[in-house]
Structure 1
Amino acid sequence: MPDSLMPNVPATLFADPREARRAIRAGRHTGWTANVAPGFVQGNLAILPADWAGEFLRYCQLNPKPCPIVGMSEPGDPFLPQLGQDLDIRSDVPSYRVFRDGVPEGDVPDIAHLWRDDLVAFVLGCSFSFEAALLDAGLPLRHIACGTGVPMYLTNVPTAPAGRFHGNLVVSMRPFKPADAVRAVQVTSRFPNVHGAPVHIGLPHLIGIDDIDQPWEGPATEVMADELPVFWACGVTPQAAIRMARPPFAITHTPGHMVVTDIRNAAVAAL
């Protein structure tokens, strides 16, 4: 979409995170969460059996750029009050992805029927959290103007292994004109707990992306002739690691459909 057709201020979906979660829980919002409750932290989700959780925690600790932990549940407890007093991880995500033996078997709107007493939920920082700051800085975000999520790509960049968890980095992409790309680096550097500064700018083939128009996950976003693709570490990286580790059972969010928390972005910004 040409910049001339992009609205200066995209419509906000649910200014309040509690309102957003109620709508998600009731099935009234089942889509992307980009620009939902702007100003509040959103999170990626990974749910694993307790006997796999220790290795996964170590994997996240060794790979803080794509896997910054913002919350973790006790085994069998679906509530994360530190992220939202009413947050029920079984129902408050618009779409979940179910894995068996590392293979995704489908997406479901809630996981109450799949919940078990041994499951541990991890909520990881998401780049949607810094998008309000980018918009406040006057930097256009095409996927929000188009009402979609961001494109995500599996790269050739290895992550640090931890036990059975290993694999390559997944990145999200947003296109910017060169001067805006510099500003985007400055803005997002203030948010290390939600992926922080980009990991790569331009020349996608250098990180193993052969076709920018064919994302690994999410919809394609057009990169104009006067723009650079800017890549951030992405919290979908654990989904690539789950495919490699092949736990007997796991649940994640469907990419682009995030956990909306009550934590303000200002609380995770660097001073």
Structure 2
Amino acid sequence: MTPDEARARFRSGVKEPTAGWSAGWTQANLIALPRDLAYEFLLFAQRNPKPCPVLDVTEPGATSSPLFSGDLRTDLPGYRIYEHGELVAEVDDVTDLWREDLVAFLVGCSFTFEAALLEAGVPVRHHEAGSNVPMYSTSVECRPAGSLSGPLVVSMRPVPAGQVADAVRVTSRYPAVHGAPVHVGDPAALGIRDLDAPDFGDPVEVRSGEVPVFWACGVTPQAAVMRSRPPFAIGHAPGHMAITDARDSDYLVP
């Protein structure tokens, strides 16, 4: 399915996690903030490049970009609306909420390297289960920038112990979409108490002989919004991504 075809389906009301959609095309997180916070967010992203790798930034009020030729207000399968850090709505269309002062940021997504993991023989459990990837807020603090601060959010994929090195090798070649894992093994080291209770997404089974592997996650900007409480923000529903016009191979390094 091409990005245009996928976006048309979302625009018509299809709402589901996008892992596995439009194979070969890059997916991205969305965070849209008022213009007066745009510099602070760029600084926050520069200081925290693992969870916040910025792929594109719009002009204030713009509803598309060179990386995303669709409509950012309608062409994602789900959005979250924040007021003063509180989640006030989850909707499938933000046309009536989009403002002329909003600057939209497209942030790299780990779904981009999942096809490469599968090609290397590394299982991706949420694909097998037909569910969303589990995501967790951690006890690791991001570097603050101006009024913005918050915890690192991670996604988790169980990997057979003998294939962890393969998972690290494969994903390290995609630094613009989170790259190599930030942690392998004990969830408690990240302050995660229960893998079966993710903060975002769905839990997945960790089988005998498997190790939980954690990657930085592009939901981190929304965690910063919840902590820092700006007056208004729009994000994607976690796991319900923007499917861009870029190819996964554009972000592969030798």
| 1:237 CA drift (Å) | 0.6
What code does the residue aligned with 1:224 have? R
- Alignment of 1:33 with 2:18, yes or no, is yes
Q: Give the one of 18, 22, 25 matched to 2:8.
A: 22
SS of structure 1 residue aligned to 2:107 = strand
- Alignment of 1:59 with 2:44, yes or no, is yes
SS of structure 1 residue aligned to 2:117 = helix
- Alignment of 1:202 with 2:185, yes or no, is yes
SS of structure 2 residue aligned to 1:122 = strand
Q: Give the one of 45, 49, 65 matched to 2:30.
A: 45
Q: Give the one of 38, 54, 63 matched to 1:69.
A: 54
Q: How does 1:93-172 map to 2 (within 5 A)?
A: 93-172=76-155
TM-score (norm 2): 0.98
Unaligned runs of 5+ in 2: none
After superposition, give the CA deviation of every residue in 1:152-211 in whole Å (9 maximum; x if it has no partner). 011111111000111110000000111111100000000000000000001110110111
What code does the residue aligned with 1:83 have? L
Distance 1:142 1:158 in 2: 27
Q: Give the one of 160, 167, 175 matched to 2:158.
A: 175
Distance 1:94 1:26 in 2: 9
- Alignment of 1:244 with 2:227, yes or no, is yes
Distance 1:237 1:79 in 2: 22
The runs of at least 4 consecutive aligned structure 1 residues that moved more than 4 Å come to none
SS of structure 1 residue aligned to 2:169 = helix
SS of structure 2 residue aligned to 1:113 = coil
Unaligned runs of 5+ in 1: 1-14
SS of structure 2 residue aligned to 1:182 = helix
Q: Give the one of 83, 90, 94 matched to 2:67.
A: 83
After superposition, give the CA deviation of every residue in 1:116-172 in whole Å (9 maximum; x if it has no partner). 111110000000000011111111111011111110011111111000111110000
Percentage identity across paired residues of the two chains = 52
Distance 2:209 2:249 in 1: 32
Distance 1:138 1:226 in 2: 16
Question: How big is the alpha-carbon RMSD for the aligned residues of Structure 1 and Structure 2?
Answer: 0.8
SS of structure 2 residue aligned to 1:157 = strand
| 1:84 CA drift (Å) | 3.3
What code does the residue aligned with 2:15 have? T
| 1:102 CA drift (Å) | 0.6
| 1:56 CA drift (Å) | 0.8
Distance 1:154 1:111 in 2: 26
SS of structure 1 residue aligned to 2:96 = helix
SS of structure 1 residue aligned to 2:246 = strand
Number of equivalent positions:
254
Distance 1:179 1:188 in 2: 16
TM-score (norm 1): 0.92
Distance 1:115 1:97 in 2: 12
